[in-house]
Amino acid sequence: MSPRSRRPFLLLFAALLAVPFAPARAQLTIEIVGGAGTAIPIAVVPFEGESNFPLGISGIVAADLARSGLFRSVDTGGVSPRPFRAEDVRSDVWRGRGADAVVVGSMRPRADGRVDVAYALVDVVRGGTLASTHFTVAQAQFRATAHRIADEIYAKLTGDAGVFSTRIAYVAKQGARYQLVVADADGADPQTIVSTDEPILSPRWSPDGNRIAYVSLEQKKPIVYVQNLATGARTAIAAFRGSNSAPAWSPDGRQLAVTLSRDGGSQLFLMNADGTGVRRVMTSPGADTEASFTPDGKALLFTSDRGGSPQIYRVGVDGGGVERITFEGSYNVSPRPLPDGKGMVYVRRDGNRYQVAIMDFATRQTQVLTAGPLDESPSVAPNGKMVLYASETGGRGILNAVSADGRVKQRIVAPSADVREPAWGPLPK
């Protein structure tokens, strides 16, 4: 990992956001602190008619792409005439500026008050239009439209699904108050969905993105809740005697794995998403916790100290076929399967440093992705390409993101809050 020159693309979306009903909250800003060696140079030309609207689309598209670390913005200043359609793009001009691809578009108001948004992605190296889409949207949908365009461009040029339209959840601590916050993946539009004087942890998105499971200590013990994001209504799905913690959704959204101490010790249980049908996965000689389902729904990865130190294991959902996965070191915890099922991200301790690492199941090879010293709670993006995690600097919690190959790093900062427990939401349906 070579020290790179810092390229601070400080994205202050707060300045662009003029949502009148949203009170000041822990708005995140994202700073890229290291990029891929082979970022794709791309020019996003300001869209035709964009200046007539309070929020432009091209700037958000360019910021999304740059934030991924896989793209480098090429200056569009001084090109005359500015192209707005694919056929107006002069490849030689843009190649001369070092661009491999150019994005052009337009925003035209309609009589019904909505806006026609069109864009095209042009390959100026090989020639040809790679993508061209037209949307009719209300002004409130500009931001979402920009993220969709960025997702399409990302998919065309990298071959992977874009995650700019996804949402994230995190816990912000401001003074003595704990807030569970849901925001766009770029930190914009933060919405507080729970606010309490007691700690909140372990937020987990349901696979359909409509509910979040989490643990709250507001009743003087850990209780697992499932909250509906549209209505704010919630159910205590695990409030048994003792501690109830570490929820994880099954891929079909019908079940949750939880850790309960109701029958002694910390043991894994499965239950239906409404809290019924509680059944124990197995009887463990140690403390078992932080389960997560494998993408095929057939097994759980979990942490157990049954061997004397916390290590990661796998067990079938029927309780059979327990297998130890980690052997190196005395502390390997927080397993999170990759979406393709071929590996996992986890936290390991090396001396006094807690670091996020990734393991390939076939080769058992591991790569340490972060430097520590207090990195925890990793959450994998639904395309498997980025890992969001909690870190600490100067005694304050911050969020970071790192690409699954360790090359792209982002620092995500909330100005006034202590932030932790990030959870990356699913791809929108």
- List contacts with other proteins (CB under 8 A): 21-23, 25, 167, 176, 182, 191-199, 201-202, 215-222, 227-234, 241-243, 245-246, 259, 261, 264-266, 287-290, 303, 305, 310, 331, 333-334, 347, 349, 354, 374, 376-377, 392, 395, 420-421
Strand-strand pairing, 167-174 and 418-424: antiparallel
Q: How far is the CB of 368 from other proteins (least distance, A)?
A: 16
The residue (of 125 and 233) whose beta carbon lies closer to other proteins is 233
Provide, rounded to whole angstroms, the least separation between the CB of residue 394 and other proteins. 9
Query: How many Å apart are CA 411 and CA 162, to the nearest integer?
Result: 19
For other proteins, which is the closer residue by CB, 31 or 305?
305
Residue 44 has phi, psi (to 5 degrees) of: -105, 105
Rounded to 10°, the helix 58-67/142-158 angle is 50
CB of 124 to other proteins, least distance (A): 40
CB of 309 vs other proteins, minimal distance in Å = 8
Contact 226, 234 (CB under 8 A): yes
Run of H or E including 96: helix 91-96
Closest distance of CB 353 from other proteins, Å: 10
Tally of CB atoms within 10 A around 353: 14
Q: Which CB, 100 or 290, lies closer to other proteins? A: 290
Whether the Cβ atoms of residue 117 and residue 60 lie closer than 8 Å to each other: no
Considering beta carbons, is residue 221 or 298 the nearer one to other proteins?
A: 221
- CA-nearest of 375, 307, 324, 318 to 345 is 375
Shortest Å distance, C-beta 94 to other proteins: 40
Report the run of H or E that residue 269 belongs to, with start and end. Answer: strand 267-272
Name the residue nearer to other proteins (CB basis): 304 or 366.
304
Nearer to other proteins, 20 or 78 (CB): 20
Is-cis flag, bond preceding 251, omega within 30? Answer: no
Rg of the Cα trace of the chain? 23
Least Å from the CB of residue 220 to other proteins: 6
Q: State which residue, 334 or 366, has the beta carbon closest to other proteins.
A: 334
Query: Which residues have a Cβ under 8 Å from the Cβ of 394 and sit 6 or more positions away?
Result: none
